[in-house]
Amino acid sequence: MKLLGEKTAPAFVQRRKPPSLTALRSALPPSTAVAWLKTVLFALCLAPLARLVFFAFTDRLGANPIEFVLRSLGTWTLTLLLVTLSITPLRRLTGWNSLIRVRRMLGLFAFFYACLHFLTYAGVDQSFDLSAILADVVKHPYITVGFTCFVLLIPLAATSTNAMQRRLGGRRWQLLHRLIYVIAAGGVVHYLWLVKKDITQPLLYGLVLVVLLGLRLWWRRQPARAALSRPPG
């Protein structure tokens, strides 16, 4: 029996679905979405450095602070290289073409951490002793590979601007920047040879790199396969 003035509850309540990533992306102008994404990524890329500075001021770098800083900077260099390489697959999988506009910033942050990694080794660990540095490069294969990767990163960073891309021409610029595949592979080898006991983490980095390169090769072969399977006209 319904009392007077009592409101009847609806038979069902239609719940709103949370907005999807695509809906949120389309709700913002492309330039605004990219600006927000760049701001967030910029802050995230600086977070590892802020963590090291905080650890240094609070005496949390461990028994061997130089090794801790070197490992941390090297790990983040390789991480950012792989994140940079993941932009193209993410763009193809999500259909968000504007993602390509954050790739340069991520690559430059990878170079930034590589510079800090090298300067910590050359300046703090070796006191800028050129003969000792050269002896290490020749004597230790993992340092040879790491130093080679750092040198190869320099022309990529120097030619990352739109002006340099126009000056080199699209084809030559693309050929030059394919060195990032060699650099990323060398970074994994450098990490693998550096670690003496537990090689789990460098192997995980290597697996991620294999997946990223495998996706590129698979997508590149798709037009050729489609052309071969097409009946002759």
pLDDT in tens, the chain (233 residues): 444 455 555 544 455 555 554 554 555 556 788 899 999 999 999 999 999 999 999 999 999 999 999 999 999 999 999 999 999 999 999 888 889 999 999 999 999 999 999 999 999 999 999 999 999 999 999 999 999 999 999 999 999 999 999 999 989 999 999 999 999 999 999 999 999 788 999 999 999 999 999 999 998 887 655 544 454 54
The H or E element that residue 120 is part of is none
Distance (Å, rounded) from C-alpha 181 to C-alpha 43? 26
| 3-state SS, residue 232 | coil
Q: What is the pLDDT of residue 170?
A: 87
Burial of 72 (0-12, 13-18, 19+ CB in 10 A): buried
Distance (Å, rounded) from C-alpha 208 to C-alpha 71? 19
Q: What is the pLDDT of residue 230?
A: 53
Q: What is the pLDDT of residue 13?
A: 46
**What is the SS3 assignment for 123-147?**
HHHCCCCHHHHHHHHHHCHHHHHHH
Paired tokens of 34: 């990219």
Q: What is the pLDDT of residue 197?
A: 82
Dihedral Cα 165, 169, 175, 179, nearest 10 deg: -20
Q: What is the pLDDT of residue 98?
A: 87
Paired tokens of 59: 């005496």
Check residue 121 and report its DSSP letter.
I
Q: What is the pLDDT of residue 153?
A: 97
pTM, two decimals, is 0.83
